[in-house]
Structures are given as structure tokens and as C-alpha cells.
Structure 1
Amino acid sequence: MKDKKIVMGELELELELLPEPEPLDIPKFNQEFRAVVEAYNEGSADLEMPADELLARSHIAPGTGSYRDFSYIAPDIPHYIASNCTACMECVTECPDTAILAKVLPENLVEEELAKIEDPETRERMRAHFAKTKKFYDLPQKKGKEAGLFSIFVDPTKCKGCAECVAVCDDDALEMVRKEGEMVPHYKEEFDFFKSLPDTPMEYINERTPIDLMLTDKTHLYVGGAGSCAGCGEATALRMLAAANAFAYDDQWGIVAATGCNTVYSSTYPYNPFLVPWTNSLFENAATDAMGIRMRWDQMGWQDKKLWVVGGDGAMFDIGFQALSRMLSSGMNINVIILDTQVYSNTGGQASTSTYMGQETKMSAFGKKLKGKTEHRKEIAEILMMHPDVFVAQTTAAHFNHFYKAVFAANEYEGPSVLIVYTTCQPEHGVADDASARQARLAVDSRTFPVFVHDPRKGQRLSERLDLRMNPAIYDDWYTDPKTGKPLTFIDFARTEQRFAKHFDKDGNPSEVLLAVQEERLKNWRRLQELAGILDKKKQKAAGD
């Protein structure tokens, strides 16, 4: 390429232009990057690795997180008790690190694979991972089909010991045990055996039961190895998004990720948990970036290739809101998932417009005069519903069916769609590592974060488009907790999180600020009821009775 002369006023510069970079040779790229990952794993990268073309071009190979080893992170690890298991799949679904996986295989095939193991003790350790459950063993037998054995295995190199899997298991099929002796090597050996097994046959997977999607290998496009916090609520949502997309589209979809926690823990060089193409953009322009990619893909004839924008509070509620609004108004077929933590976790816990009033954060401290954040929370879902013909769903990763069905519907919708997902942030909310699902369910039950789906295909009126099902007691102001016989309110939710702790006196009485937040949450719920026509339906139901 010839030199180029540039004149700037009286200054004349001659620049030697570099040649255009050649397209990447993907097999060669992955092979070269394997050496980079190994150097980082050995701790020698900063001393021995030269600056190379891959680093200069900000490339990270797909799925390199699978080579990352977290087995030294936590002192405890989940232990599977097959005799108690019902194959509910909640542990596999809720794990934020792809550290606990499951398969269903025909009984005779399992016995064949076990027979290949010569050492009797090792064979019995492997056999202990297989359970005869009603769902996959008894019911198929009754239908004259081949009975399947359900298995759970834990990958010690991905597990961070958050115990989320144990917390969501209502069957006492998992317990945390101390890592001692040869336990970690045994776990690695057992997980290698799991990976050597054939994939779950499709006859054991019911497409009408979305929670079973992760039984098949092809849905694990989020491989773990991300640097997210233990128990991270965001990572679970991303894993579920990846599984839902993979089940329908394999790896034929892509991600535009806005600056935030998700870009930090999913692209901490050289580790990447995704097996799909992705690009990291800035806080404010991820939606705009996606518009350009969508246009280019459409030019290439890739209209059916799905594109998802991933962002948090800043990217979608605040600095990137205008770009998001413009994208939605364009009518382009782009999907968005908002990881709603109600705080800028990536910058040390600053408040955002997603933050609840009264919440204590780094930029809204609790003091003598100001009691935490003084502004109201922006209800972005309700704002987005006012854009023309936009599919909007507000959901949580703990409401498995609601989440998966929202993803499927968003993909099917020919136009812009947005999912707002409640994602617990353990360090900033002050909750335990195993509490993501519990807090998400409590947020919904207490009207703190109602779930709903707004589907423009359902009709012209909001009351036809807006569906509040999956919220408890949708005709009432509050849901009555059957354990206490009392209404479950925002105050009950706030008691469980450190971010609201200073609002309670020594006797546990809430502050005036929290009572005001509770009233604001009730008003928000009533507004949703009105938009969905719930009150009219309640009157009709009463008249019919």
C-alpha cells in the first residue's frame, strides 16, 4: 500500500499505511490461542508471551473458559445423592457456572459404559451418579418405551462453591461437602466419564418442558470459566438464554454486549465462556452497534440469524437508553436482554435509574439527611411498551418456564423485543452466594419486581397484549404468604437484603422511606393491573359468580 500524504495547516506528514489484515484462519486461530490459554493457566504469560496479532486485534477464541480451573476457589463442593433425585433439573438450570450437568441415557447403554471400567471401586463411584426417577424411568416403562437413567455430575474445575444448586433442590438430592483427600481428582475423573458418554437422546426431551433443554450437549453454548462472582444472578440468565437459543438455532446467533459486569467476566483475557460470535461495545451504543450488524446480516441474506444485545442498568436504563429507544423505533428484528441488578455493579455499586428508592449504594449513601437513593425507580418495561409494536417481557431466571417461553416468543416475534430480567448481585445487595433464585422469587411475590409479557400480536389494546400470569394473586394488591397468613410486601423483601438494612431500627421497624417505597411498589402493581385489564376482569368474574 502506498504512503499517504496528509496536510494539516502548515504541517505536512507522510504516513506509511499498513496493509489490510487478512481474514482469520479459524482452525489456526484456535490452535494458536490454545498456547495463549495454557500460558495463562501456568502463570507464565506476562513473562513469556509476546505481543501478537490476536491480542492486537482484541480477539478471544470461542469457549476458552472451558480451560479455566476454579477447583482451588472454594473449600466445599456439591455432592449428589441419586436416591433422593426427582430429575427436576433446577440445579442444572440455576448453576451460573455450567458446573453441574445432567444426562438421560437408556439403562442398557449405561450398563455397557460402566462395564468398560475395569476398577470395581471406580465403577461403583460412577454408578452412584445414576438415578431411577419417575420422570425418566417409571413413566417411559409404563408407556412401553425404554427406561432412562438420569445422572448428575459436577465439574470441579468450574464450580465456585456458591451452593445455589443445593439451595434450589427441594428433594435433598444435593449437599455441600468439604474437599478432602482425593475428592477433587475423583470429581475430575467422574466428570471426564460424563463427557465421554453419548448425548441425551431426543426422545427423553419434551419440548413443552423447557427446563429439560440443558439435558442435551448442544445447549451448553455458555461453557463456564467466566470470572463472575460466586452465585452471580446475571450468569444464570445468560446460560439460560444461550440454552434456549441453542435449542432452536444451534450456534447460528450472535451477541452484542454492552459494557458492564457481563463484558468483564465473559471476556477477561484470554477466557471466554461463549461458543457463539460476540462483540463487546460501549455502555451507550450497544443497540446502535446491533443495528449496523443487523443491516449487514440482512444484506448477506442472514435474515433468520438471531441477534441479541446484552446490557445492564447503564446500557439500557441510563446512558444507553436513547440508543435503545432509537433501535426499537426502527422496527428492526433485534432482541435485547437487560440484566437488571438495580445497581452499577461494574463500577463499585453506584446508583442507577433502575435502583429502588431508599437503596444504599456507593453514590447514594445512607446518612442523617438523605436515606439512600432519593429518586424513584424507572420502570423501563412500561416505557418500552409505549414504543410501537415492541415485544416486552419482564421475568427472572428463577421462573424457569416464564423465562424460556419469553425467549422463544422474542425470537419468534418479527420485530424488536426486550427481556428485562431480575438478576441478584450478591456483593452489592448483601445477600448470600446461594440466594439468587430465592431473592428473585421473593421479588416477584412481594410485587417488588412483577413478571409479565407484553405481546403486540395478541391484540390492539394493552389489556389484550399484557399478561400478568405467573404473579401470585393477580387480582389482589398483595399475595398472602401461606406460612404466615399475612400479605407479603416490599418490606418483607427489603428485610432480606443488606442494601436496605439501615432502614430498620433495633426493633425491626421500617423507616418512613421504606414505607413510601412500599406504597410506590403497590402503585406500580396497580398500574400494571389496570393496563392488563385485571380489575375489569375481576369485576366480570365477580358478576359471573
Structure 2
Amino acid sequence: GDRMLIANATGCSSIYGGNLPTTPYTVNRDGRGPAWSNSLFEDNAEFGLGMRLAADQLMAHAQTLVKEMAGEIGSDLATALIDAEQREEAGIRAQRQRVATLLEKLKGATQPRARELAVLAEWLIRRSVWIIGGDGWAYDIGYGGLDHVLALPYDVNVLVLDTEVYSNTGGQTSKATPIGAVAKFSAGGKATAKKDLAKLASDYGHVYVSTVAYGAKDTQTLRVFHEAESFDGPSLIVAYSPCIAHGVDMLYNLRQQDAAVKSGHWPLFRFDPRRLEAGDNPFKLDSAAPSRPIREFMESETRFAMLTRSHPETAERLMAEAQKEADRRYQGYLERARHSGVVTPDSDPGRNPE
């Protein structure tokens, strides 16, 4: 977070993320913290890409100045600043020390290049760009921009907080809304399946992709964020996000996440292109085969259960379709995981205690 640039799509996350005087973001003892900004709803992916390009351009310019001033600051320091490995936190800390040394050497300098480098020196530290938004943005209105950004090779991280509905505007159906759910514009129950955004992104082959539900597997969630941040390229994390629009007591948020995974409503997987370099299957399935019928999960949430009261026959039909869809999706994931014999549904990264 001390070098994080956040592009936040308008939605629930921008309300609790940017509604002063309170903020979920803070600074560390050195006064460093995330830089947060909100543009529009429909262009958040492009907005975040602009942050990445700007940060890269500033770093490149700072590196050029370092090369030009190698004689004044020392060739060893100049080489270390330019060639620094910054994919892990240890490398970031080492680069911070080098930048501090550089700034000490530039103190009192009067020549224009030295003064400019002193201003830009902090940009020699790699920035972590995060593009954050909900499913209404990622699956629907901003999908074209998101797809464009993921198709490019730039180092951006995308976090989709998937509530499976347009939460901030009152609970309208999105393409993330699952079959059988009641929402505005699908009062009779959504008749079609949820778009599989994570699978679509993984089909590119060069994008790090994962689905997470920290209430089901918290250590898998932590591992995913670490892997996504360290990946040199675009990454996409789709996070299951229970919402009041689901018609559940949010006191039981973690329990609902666990139920979503165990019923097959929300399978967990990781797709890491780096495994291809080692000749391994990039796809790893992190959740076990569904251990309970999806009906049990659906009946625990008002968004599904209310249809059993208003249109019981339709509810029965859509629940049966939901079970078929969950089975089909899990089997498809299982086939991808078995492609090179990599099947890890019950192995680490950790399953939460029962």
C-alpha cells in the first residue's frame, strides 16, 4: 500500500473509499500510503491504464537522468538504481535505500538536471497500480475497456468486487447475476447463466487470473494477492462479495462465502502464466468438488428464495438449471486442471477450519 495507485470505479467501493471525512486508507510511519482516485463509471480500466503508463514514463525519465548523471552520483549507484529487481518487497526496500542515498547526494545541487532528478527520484520505485470496481462496471458497462486493458501487456492489477448485482444503484441485474436470482429487471428470476469473466480473461493466456472468497479459503486469498502483485503483466482477481441485496444477514458474510464455494456456486481457481515457463499447467483448482446441492445455498438467500413464493414452478426449474450450470462449470474447470495432472482441490493454499 505504500506505493499503490488506485483507480476506483464509481460504485459502493468508491463511496466507502472516497467519502470524506472517513477513509479506509491510511499511511505508514514514513507517511507513505495509497494514492486513490475516481474517474467515471465506464472508463475505470482505461483510467487505471493511464496511471500505469504515466508511472512508467516518469520512471523512464528518472532513469535517463540517472544515466546522464552517473559521473556525479557514482556509476555503481546509477547502475543499481536502473537495474533494480522490484518484483518482491525485499527488492522494493533495497531500492528505497538506494533512492535515499541518491537524494542525499543531490542535496544542495543547483544544476537543472540534478534538481529535476531530485523531484523525480521517488519514481525510481516501482508503483503498484490497482484498478478496482464492482461487477456492474467489470461485467457490463466497463467491460469493453477492461477487455482492452487485459489484452495489453502492461503491469496492472484488477480487483472485481463481485456482488452479482448493481448494488450502488439499487440492485439491478448485471451480467454477473446468477441464474434464478431475483433483482430489478429480472423480477421473475434471471433466466440465463452468469458470465464467467475469470474464464474469459484466462483464455488470453498471458493474464494472471483468480477467483477468491476469503470466507472459504483465506490463505488462498492472501496467496492470490501476492501472486497477482508480483506478476509482471495484467492480473485479474474476481472476489465473491456478499451484499445486502442478496437478502442475507451480513453478520454471516463469511459463512455465506463458504457456502457459495461448497455448493459449487463459486469455484476457486488460479491461472498463472508463469507456470507455463516451467512446463506446468497454469491452471490450478483450489476448491473441492461441491459437497452440497446448490439448492441449499440458494434457499439461504432471499434473492433466490423469494421466487419460490412468487413463482414456485419457475423457481424449481431455475434451481435445476442452476445445479446443471454449477456442475458443468466445475467439470470444465476440473478438465483444465487435469490437463497436466495438476489437481489441487484439497491441498494448500489453505482451507479454512470447519
User: TM above 0.5, one fold?
Assistant: yes
Matched residue, 2:338: 533
Report the number of matched residues. 269
SS in 1 for 2:259: helix
> Which consecutive aligned stretches of 4+ in structure 1 deviate over 6 angstroms post-superposition?
460-463, 534-538
Deviations 1:388-442 (CA, angstroms, capped at 9, x unpaired): 41000101121210011000001110000010000100x2001012111101111
Deviations 1:241-271 (CA, angstroms, capped at 9, x unpaired): xxxxx4xxxx111211001111112222333
Aligned ranges 1:386-397 → 2 under 5 Å: 386-397=203-214
Shift of 1:537: 6.8
Aligned ranges 1:211-290 → 2 under 5 Å: 246=1, 251-275=2-26, 276-290=34-48
Structure 2 residue 170 is matched with structure 1 residue 348: yes
Structure 2 residue 310 is matched with structure 1 residue 310: no
Shift of 1:293: 1.0
1:347 to 1:379, Cα distance in 2 relative to 1, 3 A: same
1:505 to 1:315, Cα distance in 2 relative to 1, 3 A: closer
Kept in 1: contact 2:154–2:233 (CA 8 A): yes
In the aligned structure 1, how far is the partner of 2:309 from the partner of 2:10? 38
Kept in 1: contact 2:7–2:38 (CA 8 A): yes
Kept in 1: contact 2:246–2:302 (CA 8 A): yes
The gaps in structure 1 that reach 5 residues or longer are 1-245, 367-371, 480-487, 539-545
Matched residue, 1:332: 154
Aligned ranges 1:325-474 → 2 under 5 Å: 325-366=147-188, 372-398=189-215, 399-425=217-243, 427-459=244-276, 464-469=281-286, 471-473=287-289
Matched residue, 1:13: none
Kept in 1: contact 2:281–2:340 (CA 8 A): no
Matched residue, 2:295: 491
| Partner residue of 1:515 out of 301, 317, 320 | 320
Amino acid at match of 2:231: Y
Amino acid at match of 2:294: F
In the aligned structure 2, how far is the partner of 1:535 from the partner of 1:518? 27
The gaps in structure 2 that reach 5 residues or longer are 27-33, 60-122, 344-354
Percent of aligned pairs with the same amino acid: 32
Kept in 2: contact 1:393–1:452 (CA 8 A): yes
Kept in 2: contact 1:329–1:388 (CA 8 A): no
Normalization by structure 1: what TM-score? 0.47
1:463 to 1:343, Cα distance in 2 relative to 1, 3 A: farther
Q: Aligned-residue CA RMSD in angstroms?
A: 2.2
1:502 to 1:312, Cα distance in 2 relative to 1, 3 A: same
Considering Cα pairs closer than 8 Å and 6+ residues apart, tell me whether 1 or 2 has the greater RCO.
Answer: 2
In the aligned structure 2, how far is the partner of 1:461 from the partner of 1:377? 33
Amino acid at match of 1:526: Q
Amino acid at match of 1:472: A
Deviations 1:197-241 (CA, angstroms, capped at 9, x unpaired): xxxxxxxxxxxxxxxxxxxxxxxxxxxxxxxxxxxxxxxxxxxxx
Which is higher, the Rg of structure 1 or of structure 2? 1
SS in 1 for 2:228: helix
Shift of 1:387: 1.8
Shift of 1:326: 0.9
1:360 to 1:458, Cα distance in 2 relative to 1, 3 A: same
Kept in 1: contact 2:182–2:307 (CA 8 A): no
Kept in 2: contact 1:343–1:361 (CA 8 A): yes
